[in-house]
Structure 1
C-alpha cells in the first residue's frame, strides 16, 4: 500500500525497505525527502541526449544514460547513510544532470486519449508530461488501478508498457520497484513515465515472440540457472556477442557510443532462434510465484557475482549487475496485493528472459562461484553492517550500493529454498559476495560519468587486462 502523499515521505518504521540497515533515523528521512524533491523538480530523467548514444539523424535509435539520483538516494537511506553522506553523494551526482523539461498541460490532458498516449511513447520530451499524467491518475483512481490500466491489465497500452519497463536496461522496472517498496506514489509516476519514454523497440519483438513460443510449451520448462548454463554451452549463443559492443567509439571524436547494441545486433542478429528456444523454457506457475521470485534473484546473484576470471581480483560486470538490481521490482510486485498471481508470474517470466538476453549479450561469461568464495576480505571480520556502511561512502552513482543491497535481499529470500539445486548461490556465499563487491571498490570509482570499478564484458580476457590480479 503506497502512502497517501503527493511528494516524498520517508520514515524509519513505515518505509525502511525490504533489506535495510538497523540505524535508520528521522534526520536521514528528512534528508532523503529533500534530495528526492530536488531531483524531481530540477533534473531530467536522462543525462545524455540522443546524439550521445546513437545517430539522431537516422532511425538507429539508441538508449539514453539514466539519472540514477533517486535510486542512489533511496538506497543510501536504506543502507543507513548519515544525512551528510547522503547530501554529499546527491550533490556530486547532480553535477552532470540535464535540466528538467517543461510540462505542457494540454499534452498531459490529451494523454487520456489512447491514440495520443501511444504516439508519445518513446519520446523523451514527454517525460514530465507522462509523469504529471500518471500522478494525476494515481490521485484520481488509485495506484492499483493505474498499474492495471497502464502496465499489467492486458490492454493495448498495458501490453506496450509491459515491454517498455525493460527498455533502457531495466531502469523502469527498478524505478517502479523502488516506488512500491518504499511506498512512494510520486516515484511510481516517475517510473511509469521513464518506462513510457524509452524506445529500445527490439525488446517488444523478443519478449512477445518468446512468450508466444512459451505458450506452446513444446519443450519442458527448466530452472533459470540451468537455462543460463545451457546458453554458455550453446556454440551460437556463446559467440553471438563480442567485446566490440562494449568498447565501440566514434571515429572522429573518439567518444564511447552504442551504435551497435548487444541484444539487437549481437544476440538477436546472430542467434535469435537459439535464444528464443531457451527463453521459452523459462516458465512460471502462478501458484509458485514466491519460490520463483526467490529463484530469479538467486540466479541474478549467480550471474552477477559468479562472472569472475582467474587470476584477477573479483570484479563485477556493469551490465550483468542490472539483472540483479532490477529484481527489486519483482519482489515489490510479489508483495503487492493488487497484482494477481498470474500477472506476477508473467512479469517474472519477462524478467528471466531479459536476464538471459543480458547474459548472452555479455558473451555468456563462465560462472565461477568457487573462485568468488575464495575471495580474501580486505578488512578483518566484515559483516553486512560493515559492507553497508562502506557502500554508503562509495563515490559512484549508486550501482555499487544497489548491487550490495539486492544481494542482501537475495540472501533473505533464498533462505527457505537453500536446499534446492536451482538455487546455486547458497546462504554461506551471500556475505562473501557482498564483501567481494565492496572490496572491488577503488579510491576513484568514477571520473565524471565514466565508471572504473565495473568491468564491461566479463566473458572476454581483453576486458580483464586492466584490472588487478590476486596476490594469493
Structure 2
C-alpha cells in the first residue's frame, strides 16, 4: 500500500470522523468496490467462518507510536494529538459522529435529519445541566441519554425524541451542588459518594477538554493506580457497578463521538458505590498480556463448566444473599475468565463470543419449554429478566471502545465484562439451559405475534401456491414499536439484538458443536430474533395509567431464574 503522510490538527470529533479518510484510502487500494473486502482482508463476523480482522495492515500501526495502539476488529484511527479547547470551541454535545468501528452498530435512516439531530442535542444538553445521574438513593440510574441515543440511532424523529425526554424527566432529581471541588489531588477521596457527582462532572469535563478521552480512561479507569493505588479506588469495579451503566455511558461516548457521555460516564463511575468483585485482582492490571500456552476456552465452554460444577449453585433465599454466594466463588470465576482470554491476541473473536453469550444467557435462561408467549394471568411465560438483559445492552459497545484503548486495557475490559456477566448469572440462579427446546420452537409461531403487517394492497402474486408473507421483515415491526414504547430499556435491548443479528444472523447450526455446551449444535443466527420476539411479547402488555415513580419499568421480570423466588429482587 502506498505510504501516505498526513499532517492534521486533530480535535476530538476529528478523531472519530477519521474513518472517512481511511475509507478513501482503502478504496484507492481496491480495483473495484466489490474488491474492497478482499483488499483489506476483512470478512464480516462468523457467517463466513472467520472472525473479523483488522482492515488496515498491522505494520502501519505501532502500539507505542503516533498511529495508536493495536485495535481489535476496527478500522484503526490515529491517536488524537495533543490539543486544547477554548470555552467557545469545546462542545460536550456536538452532532454525533460516525461509529469508530466496522463492527459498531449501524444507524437507520431518520436519525440523520437536521431537525432530529438538533432536538437530540438540545435535550442531551438540558439533561446534562439539570439532572443528577441517580434519581434516588438506591441508587437507580438516569437512563435519559441511553434511551434518547438508542431511539435516535434507530430512526426516531424529533417529535418522538422530545416526547421521550418529557416522559423520562418526571422521575429525575436536580443535579444540585457538591460539598467540595474535585481536583487531581483529591480525585479519589470522595469515590462512592453521589453528593460529589456534580464536582466529578466538572473535573472530568476539564480532563476531556484537555486530553484524548482514551488517555483519560486509561488513567482513571484502567490503570493500576486507579484501582489499587492509595485508598484502593477500584474505579473499574465502579464503572461496572449497577449492571455496567458506567460502561454503557462510556460506550455511547465512543460510538457517537460525544464528549459529554465520556464526562458523565467517568463521573458516574466515581460516584458509584458497589462492593468490589474478586474478578478484578491486582494481577489483572499488571500481568502479562501475551498469549498463554494453552488454547483459549470458548465462552460457551465456560458456561458448560459452570453448569457442571455444583460449587456455582447459589443457596441464598433472596437476591442479595444469592449475590453474596456468587462473590464467594469469584476467584474460581476469574480463573475461568483467564482461561477464556489468556492473552490479548484474540480480542476480536472474544468480543464476538460475548455478543453470543450475552444473548444466550438472557434469552435461553428465561425460556421454558411449553410456556406461553406473553404475560398470562398466572404470570407464566418468558422470564424477561431485568438483570441479564443488561448483558446485551452493555456488550454492544465493546467494539466502539476498542479504538480508544491500549491492548492491555482491551484485555482488562473484556475480562471484566465476561466476569461480571458470569457473576450476575450465577447470582440469578445459574439455571439449566434448555438450548435444544429453545431453538426447536417454530420461529414462525413466535414471530406471528409481533404485528408488522404489510398494508400495501400491491404485493407479489401467489406463486406455486405460496402466499407472500404478511410480515416480510419482522425486525421492522419490533423496531417501530420499540421507538414509542414507554420503557427505556426495551429500545436499548432491541438495538443490541438487531446489531448482533446483523453481524451473525446467517450463522448456521452446528457452528458451535465443539464448545461442549449441551444443545450447542442447535444454536444459529436466529438466536437474536428469537430473543427479541420473546422479550417484546413479554413487555407488550404493561400496566397502563401508573404515575411516577411506579412507571419506572414496564413488564420486566425481577424474580431471578430460581423457582420459588418471585419478587426476590424487590
Q: TM-score range by the shorter chain?
A: 0.7 to 0.9
| Aligned pair partner of 1:393 in 475, 478, 484 | 484
1:6 aligns with 2:91: yes
Matches of 1:70 and 1:27, distance apart in 2: 18
1:358 aligns with 2:432: no
1:67 aligns with 2:157: no
Matches of 1:218 and 1:277, distance apart in 2: 15
- Whose helix fraction is larger, Structure 1's or Structure 2's? 1
Residue aligning to 1:292: 350
Residue aligning to 1:126: 196
Normalised TM-score (structure 1): 0.81
Rate the CA distance shift 1:355–1:222 in 2: closer, same or farther, 3 A.
same
Structure 1 residues 448-467: aligned runs within 5 Å: 448-462=550-564
Residue aligning to 1:112: 184
| Cα offsets for 1:67-100 (capped at 9, x unmatched) | 1111111111111122222222221221111111
Matches of 2:383 and 2:286, distance apart in 1: 36
Matches of 1:91 and 1:42, distance apart in 2: 13
| Aligned pair partner of 1:171 in 233, 245, 263 | 245
- Cα deviation, residue 368, structure 1: 3.4
Q: What secondary structure does 1:139 align onto?
A: helix
Contact kept, 8 Å, 2:501 with 2:526, in 1: the verdict is no
Matches of 1:310 and 1:417, distance apart in 2: 24
| Cα offsets for 1:222-270 (capped at 9, x unmatched) | 222221222222223123444x22xxxxxxxxxxxxxx3643x23124x
- Cα deviation, residue 357, structure 1: 0.3
For structure 1, the residue ranges without an aligned partner over 5 or more in a row are 54-63, 246-259, 466-472
Matches of 2:156 and 2:181, distance apart in 1: 39
Matches of 1:340 and 1:14, distance apart in 2: 19
Rate the CA distance shift 1:41–1:227 in 2: closer, same or farther, 3 A.
same
Contact kept, 8 Å, 1:32 with 1:86, in 2: the verdict is yes
Matches of 2:502 and 2:125, distance apart in 1: 31
Rate the CA distance shift 1:289–1:212 in 2: closer, same or farther, 3 A.
closer
| Aligned pair partner of 2:235 in 161, 167, 176 | 161
Rate the CA distance shift 1:192–1:261 in 2: closer, same or farther, 3 A.
farther
Rate the CA distance shift 1:122–1:330 in 2: closer, same or farther, 3 A.
same
Q: What secondary structure does 1:120 align onto?
A: coil
Matches of 2:12 and 2:497, distance apart in 1: 25
1:319 aligns with 2:387: yes
Matches of 2:158 and 2:109, distance apart in 1: 15
Matches of 1:44 and 1:388, distance apart in 2: 29
RMSD, matched Cα: 3.2
Q: What secondary structure does 2:164 align onto?
A: helix
Rate the CA distance shift 1:177–1:212 in 2: closer, same or farther, 3 A.
closer
Residue aligning to 2:205: 135
Rate the CA distance shift 1:387–1:304 in 2: closer, same or farther, 3 A.
same
Contact kept, 8 Å, 1:241 with 1:360, in 2: the verdict is no
Structure 1 residues 393-412: aligned runs within 5 Å: 393-396=484-487, 398-412=488-502
Residue aligning to 1:187: 261
User: How many positions carry a matched residue from both structures?
Assistant: 426
Residue aligning to 2:107: 20
For structure 2, the residue ranges without an aligned partner over 5 or more in a row are 1-10, 15-89, 374-381, 452-469
